[in-house]
Structure 1
Amino acid sequence: MTDLYENGAAEANKTRAYWALTALEAFGRKTGQNYFDGTLNVDAEALGEVTGDLLADVFHLARLNHMDPEWITSAAYRHFEEEVKEEEEGTTD
């Protein structure tokens, strides 16, 4: 794998967004929610619908594995905040 930060934090976050898009596209193919065209330009309503459904299903998976879905949400949001902070500050700690 190449250095995620090779082109800076903003590009690293764009790469992360593409990874998320890839996951949503795969989920959408399985659920019949084929709303994506491979670009980061996603209709807000479609993004909300598919993301909400995927997260709910991840929460079901967490529950089946005796894990608190709220912990996942909190951890994910902390990661997101740090990555945005890196972008805004121009750092890559």
Structure 2
Amino acid sequence: MKIQNPPFLYGQQGLQQSQRNLEQASQEVAHIATQTFDRVQPKELDVQHGTIEEGLMEARQATQNAQSNAKVIDGSNKTIGSLIDITV
């Protein structure tokens, strides 16, 4: 019998997306910090990049999303474990 576990897959995909978002936010913070460190005036900063605060908020959001997706994976594993215990 094949057991399909969509919540586990959704949690895994969400975790991967959270990791990509965290990497992107970290790169953005590093880019802005580098420009600021090089003493570029704020009005000369690259328009496509926000502020360090925005980047840090995005990083925090990605971290919280990752934690939520990890809970989905954990709950899914527990559910499958209990199903296997019942059917054995």
TM over 0.5: no
TM normalised by structure 1 equals: 0.36
More helix per residue: 1 or 2? Answer: 2
| Higher RCO (CA < 8 A, seq sep 6+) | 2
The structure number with the bigger radius of gyration is: 2
TM-score for the superposition, normalised by structure 2: 0.37
